[in-house]
Amino acid sequence: MNTRATPVILSIAGSDSGGGAGIQADVRTITMLGAHPCTAITAVTAQNTTGVGAIHPVPAEIVLEQIDAVLADFEVSAIKVGMTGSAFTTRAIAQRLRELDGKVPIIVDPVIVATSGDHLADEATVQALGELFEIATLSTPNMPEVVQLTGEDDPIAGALQLVGRHGSPVLLTGGHEEGEALADALIEDDNITSWQGTRIDTVHDHGTGCTLSAAIAAFIGGGIGLNEAIDRARMFVRMGLHEAPGLGQGHGPLGLSRIRMDVGATGRDVAPRLNQLTVTGTDYDKMVDFYKRIGLRQIVDSPDNQYARFETGGGTTFSVQCDPDAPVAENFAVYFECDDLDSRVERLAREGLPFEHGPRAQPWMWREARLRDPAGNAVFLYKAGENRRYPPWRIGEGGEEMPS
């Protein structure tokens, strides 16, 4: 029997008939991250990847009944609020959640404009969102939404205005910026924290804001601190963009079904996950041929380095490292990816485990610490993020050459 507590996340949002955003994206995200999703649907939309055809708001009293039904039966760990449907419903939700007296974290994603450009909130609803910001643990507007909410042409100035006006932190997301470089910024009363990234080349980005805010709610509900929750949620979205299946004729949904191994689950004490194994050999061509023949998908081919990496069916990666002059032996290096690499290594070292080296940046864009098990096998605790499966030199993606 599984005795580990499962965080319960309540999503208050609209339904997307195309399945890429709204309640559908929230349920997929929360489930993939190991939490349990509960819902209160605020509106039913007729939409697909090309746009929104119709919106039917759910009466406020029914929305509140859904919220009450969940709160009466579940110990909710966090709440995410997305599309609210109307100004009246927005205020009703804010009033009901205010009764929780700050005991449950609330993530507010002010859904104003869909990825397709369709407006999902009228001016009265936009004005009413301020009541939700007053009780939010965090709000996650994108740059155009901040401009619409504040009238400021400068999104940073607008985000600072929101923080000053409502007293809650704002995560300003930068996906609408021009150019290859992207930045998200967590703006608080006395601090700004930024995350840098590069644009992922895909038009299939429907539901990124919903997915990000739901992931943050799931991680915070599992006991993760705000900054780390944002960091993990960003990686979840980025891997979803990498894995987007290309559905529909417009902005398709993210691919969330194969990325659990890249981000892990909610909770502070989740065990490291085994998602990378390397074996050694002497003949590179024969090793590569063998593992391709048994059905693995090769994603890195570096004959100069005698290194190849493969992807398994579940997203776990497997690699071979060859040395023609190596003695024939069974040599294994086992890798466990840890989101909390530095703190985990520090704790284990304090507990007496002898590391050959601590977390160290490597040319292949991983950070890893090395130790050995009692049998002498090399064990690596590492963090690679998207570079495990999506290094710049990934085969077939126009990447650069792997460093020597």
Q: What is the CATH number of the domain that holds 349?
A: 3.10.180.10
- The closest of 245, 237, 241, 225 to 263, measured between CA atoms, is 237
pLDDT tens series, the chain, 404 aa: 344 589 999 999 999 999 999 999 999 999 999 999 999 999 999 999 999 999 999 999 999 999 999 999 999 999 999 999 999 999 999 999 999 999 999 999 998 865 555 566 688 888 899 999 999 999 999 888 898 899 999 999 999 999 999 999 999 988 666 678 888 999 999 999 999 989 999 999 999 999 999 999 999 999 999 999 999 999 999 999 999 999 999 999 999 988 877 887 787 777 898 899 988 888 999 999 999 988 889 999 999 999 999 998 888 999 999 988 876 665 678 898 998 899 999 999 999 999 999 999 999 999 999 998 877 878 899 999 999 989 999 997 555 667 76
Q: Does one domain contain both 175 and 221?
A: yes
- Choose one of 208, 231, 263: the last residue of a domain: 263
* Side chain identity, residue 185: A
Based on the domain organization, do 106 and 193 belong to the same domain? yes
Predicted local distance difference test score (pLDDT) of residue 31: 96
CATH number at residue 52: 3.40.1190.20
Contacts with 362 (C-beta within 8 Å, 6 or more apart), sequence order: 368
Same domain, 301 and 203: no
* Number of folded domains that form the chain: 2
Write out the residue range of the structural domain in which residue 207 sits: 8-263
103 assigned to some structural domain:
yes
Report d(CA 242, CA 254) in Å as an integer.
8
Examine the domain organization and report whether 182 and 277 are in the same domain.
no
Asked whether residue 29 is assigned to any structural domain, the reply reads yes
Q: With contact defined as beta carbons under 8 Å apart, do 83 and 52 qualify?
A: no
Statement to judge: residues 317 and 241 lie in one domain: no
Q: What is the DSSP letter of 115?
A: T
Instruction: Report residue 14: phi and psi, to 5°.
Output: -90, 160
Closest by Cα among 171, 213, 276, 235 to 82: 213
Give the pLDDT confidence score for residue 279 in this predicted structure.
85
Please give the model's pTM, rounded to 2 decimal places: 0.84
In terms of domains, do 110 and 232 share one?
yes
- Residue 212 lies inside a defined structural domain of this protein: yes
Closest-CA residue to 42 (of 86, 102, 104): 86
Instruction: Give the pLDDT confidence score for residue 2 in this predicted structure.
Output: 42
Per the domain annotation, does 99 fall within a domain?
yes
Predicted confidence at residue 270, as pLDDT, reads 79
Question: Is residue 237 located within the same domain as residue 217?
Answer: yes
Provide the pLDDT for residue 266. Answer: 81
Residues 21 and 97 in one domain: yes
Note whether 331 and 285 are same-domain residues.
yes
The reply to whether 206 and 279 lie within a common domain is no
* Domain end call among 263, 297, 327: 263
Which of residues 243, 263, 283 is at a domain's end?
A: 263
Strand order in the sheet with 36-48: 51-57, 36-48, 8-16, 78-81, 106-108, 138-139, 170-172, 181-187, 192-198
CB 363 within 8 A of CB 403: yes
Residue 3, in any domain of the structure = no
pLDDT at residue number 328: 60
Q: Are 370 and 379 in contact (CB under 8 A)?
A: yes
